[in-house]
Amino acid sequence: MSIDSLVPERFGPLQGVRIISSGTLIAQPWAAELASEMGAEVIQIERPGVGDSGWRTLGIRLATADGSPPVATNWIQERRNIFCISLDLSKTQGRDLFLRLAARADIWMESSKPGTYPKFGLDDQTVFKINPKLVITHVSGYGQTGHPDYIRRASYDIVGQAFGGTMFQTGFPDPNPPTRAAPWTADYITALFTLWSSLAGLTYARSTGQGQSIDLAQYEAIHRTLGGTMIEYFEQHIVRERSGNRAQGFQPLDTFAAKDGWVVIGAVADVYKRLCRVIGLDAEDPKWQSARVNLESIEGIEFDAILRGWVNERTIDEVVQAMNEAQVPCSRIMSSDLMASDPHYQARGVHIEWHDEQLGRSVKGMGVVPRFSRTPGKVWRGSVKVGHDNSLVYGKVLGLSEGEIAQLRRDGVI
């Protein structure tokens, strides 16, 4: 829908798109924030006085300018460009205000267990009566339908990784425990599914005038990233096991210890021949060709030992330079301090500074990804307090007076 946007400057490929986001923590709200970096107007709904108490405060926190409670670095990074309002959906007035906002939106994203919003009188059919073009994206751990014992369950990132199947394959073989992918990989993958599916729904709505609801289960988003895992099981009853950082079925693709730290090296198909030449092996020798795919054979074990010995005799810089000069994929394993000082990160401007409203100063972190040639994204504002934009949103979008907004505040609705 064409809107009089609250965003102070039109930019990005999603300008003119209004998104209501009412979820908490990571996956769904981050999807909305990514859209805001591409020009969408995102209105984030939080509980009055409390807000998203988890993501605003969990982890390392920074002091605020006015002495209010410290704010989490995750929130500062992941809630830029967002209009934050407070609203109690359990109150009749809160429900009515929400429906008035939904009538003026393109997308509504939420994350909760099934049945949460119908309890507030906000089932899909009620919302569609107000705005039949709306795209509603429901994000939950186990989905809106399915086995009743599952859809009522709560979920976190680590639960999605466990139930979705990635965690069983992540880490080193027994007796080591399965390992989660850090920092919050299941949530971030779910966020990407949330955003692309919402935009796909919006494309259809704009071409047909018909909105629809989207049922996104976190575990299914994770499960979808398993490649051929399930075909292998259904066709040959193969259960993929944990193999550490090593690839299954070919080598090399693994971590390797240099003199002064760790690198990763991968060589697939013809790249394997280039790697052989780098470490002094005859790439045409059938022995080393066999070693590439027969990992547990004598030849395979010998090749692995030769490569590890070659890497271990050199520094990280020497290994990285030699491999990349031969067009063999290889990298140092990067940490925060290394990424901050790396010349390629700097040349591409990956890290930027912006003003954060809560800190009252500039902060440096990750910029906008990806890069659009004609309609680039941007960061125009940092994170704000709970209810910071109540007057702006309720006044400009819904046309409420300051007196009406003040009364809603006294009544605990906002």
Bridge partners, residue 61, by sequence = 72
How many helices (H) does the chain have, and how many strands (E)?
A: 19, 13
Enumerate domains of the chain plus CATH numbers: 18-224+350-410 (3.40.50.10540), 253-338 (3.30.1540.10)
**Paired residues of 356 in beta bridges:** 361
Q: What percent of the chain has pLDDT over 90?
A: 96
Q: Which residue has the tokens 């830029």?
A: 80
Distance CA 93, CA 87 (A): 9
pTM for the whole structure: 0.93
- Alpha-carbon distance of 121 to 171, in angstroms, equals 45
Return d(Cα 400, Cα 408) in angstroms, integer. Answer: 10
- Are 232 and 238 spatial neighbours (Cβ–Cβ below 8 Å)? yes
- Residue that is written with structure tokens 């040959």 in the block: 236
Q: Are strands 41-46 and 18-21 parallel, antiparallel or unpaired?
A: parallel
Question: What pLDDT sits at residue 403?
Answer: 97
pLDDT of residue 159: 97
The SS3 assignment for 69 reads coil
| Among 36, 34, 32, residue whose Cα is nearest residue 45 | 32
Mean pLDDT score across all residues of the chain: 96
The stretches in the chain having pLDDT less than 70 are: 1-3
**Strand-pair category, 41-46 with 61-62:** unpaired
Within 8 A by CB and 6+ apart from 365, the residues are: 76, 77, 351, 352, 354
DSSP 8-state class, residue 249: S
pLDDT for position 123: 97
CA distance 111 to 120: 15
- Cα torsion for 334, 335, 336, 342, to the nearest 10°? -30
Residue-by-residue DSSP string for 15-58: TT-EEEE---SSHHHHHHHHHHTTT-EEEEEE-TTT-SHHHHHS
> What is the reported pLDDT for 388?
97
Kind and range of the H or E run holding 331: strand 330-332
Q: Are 179 and 170 in contact (CB under 8 A)?
A: yes
What pLDDT, on a 0 to 100 scale, did the predictor assign at position 1? 45
pLDDT of residue 3: 59
- Residues taking part in catalysis: 187
Instruction: Report the pLDDT value the prediction gives residue 406, as an integer from 0 to 100.
Output: 97
